[in-house]
Structure 1
């Protein structure tokens, strides 16, 4: 008997205690038979949160740094988490994503004790205009892939090449039938920064990122990920995408992505 309620769509389906199968919504922007790194980054954060939920304490994520070790196929992946440096006030975790027996991503996360420092809280960064004040941007007109097609992006008019600000949200669950915390859902949208403030036409140039590093001075809240982003290309094949991260209350941290810049092969 059906209930008449449609099942919610998701980026991943759990296939085991530590394994997940990506859906078509996780398809990549550079190649549709690869995973877009953005939802996978969120999935790693989800695995870290589940690992921490089994233990007492008040540690929160202050930095997570992902290294992309190779092609991330649109295939089942396994995520393992281990403690590198235990501690009651400072701890370091490492997560490894494996596909077909090969590590494809390694992430290290620094956790710090949560305490009340509201009396000295401050940031020099101004808040972004609210999402409803910005124009919806059809990101899929410039980029391919199931992930890009699944998200809602509101962007300011680019001030120049490589410079813009945007909000992103998604109606798609991270893991089917499994609640995700606000941090994992937030992180699952950060990696699009490299696609919103482009320096060059992606049909002529490639500029994939090799890593993603996120520093947080406050835990993000709500369904919107804000990105105030600048992309710089150097003269010898390297680039850098830098973002001030926001939620609706204001700035929450920074993200950096190193890029390998090269022309697409000719026909």
Structure 2
């Protein structure tokens, strides 16, 4: 799809009630003619927010969302259909399906839980990351192509190492042109970046795209920075795992996991140790 040279300062433009057109800023890293999944993951939450806004006052918050990537994410208009699978006053399950050219390409399910005052028993790891204003930006475009990567401000706490990086991610772009997005949707729109910040092997020699993304949250994250404390592991039989502790400026907010399919680039002969 030709998005033109002057893309708006957003990742998507709405074309009707349930359809969105990606801009050049949503361009992928493995294939610049595809959408990077990260902003699309945020767009799914934006659509879920709109679905829930039709019946305000439920008091439920998103605690887990899992995405399965079913097919190629062409850089083309997409439709998002949202349904309530398991309604409830204290627990609810929402499903969202993304379609491109009428073909399902992403299926997401989100568990929503009731809010209760548990501050008296709240506890867990609370180490805060070095704040982003004390860190320098890293040109991630030196490693990855694509409009999405070029749209980011990436600030690692230390020089990235193979399989291990902790970094803050932010963007000046809105999710949908002319529409406010919730802090949650904007935060989650950056989480899938984790698989690209701690690469174990050069992406010119090896492929390791994720086929899913699952996020668990123990509290609501706030922006504008998404903190990713990421470890990448490759197994011996073609599978990998990207594991991330998620942070905002106040500390940890949850975890993210991505399963990877690891294989050499076509015509590339792996070097034996």
1:147 equivalenced with 2:148 (yes/no):
yes
Partner of 2:54: 54
Partner of 1:70: 71
2: distance between equivalents of 1:99 and 1:231? 30
Partner of 1:81: 82
Q: Is residue 158–residue 197 contact of structure 1 (8 Å, CA) maintained in 2?
A: no
Return 5+ residue gaps in structure 2 as ranges: 1-6, 269-273
Q: Normalising by structure 2, what TM-score?
A: 0.93
Partner of 1:246: 247
- The number of equivalent residue pairs is 261
Return 5+ residue gaps in structure 1 as ranges: 1-6
Q: Is residue 8–residue 173 contact of structure 1 (8 Å, CA) maintained in 2?
A: no
Partner of 1:35: 35
Q: Over aligned residue pairs, what C-alpha RMSD do you find? A: 1.2
Residue 250 of structure 1 deviates from its aligned partner by 0.5
Over residues 177-212 of structure 1, what are the superposed CA-to-partner deviations in whole Å (9 max), with x where a residue is unaligned? 000000000000000000001111111000000000
Q: Is residue 95–residue 107 contact of structure 1 (8 Å, CA) maintained in 2?
A: yes
Segments of 4+ in structure 1 off by > 3 A?
Answer: none
Residue 31 of structure 1 deviates from its aligned partner by 0.4
2: distance between equivalents of 1:178 and 1:167? 24
Q: Is residue 141–residue 149 contact of structure 2 (8 Å, CA) maintained in 1?
A: yes
Residue 123 of structure 1 deviates from its aligned partner by 1.6
Partner of 1:236: 237
Residue 48 of structure 1 deviates from its aligned partner by 0.4
2: distance between equivalents of 1:219 and 1:106? 23
Residue 134 of structure 1 deviates from its aligned partner by 2.1
2: distance between equivalents of 1:32 and 1:160? 25
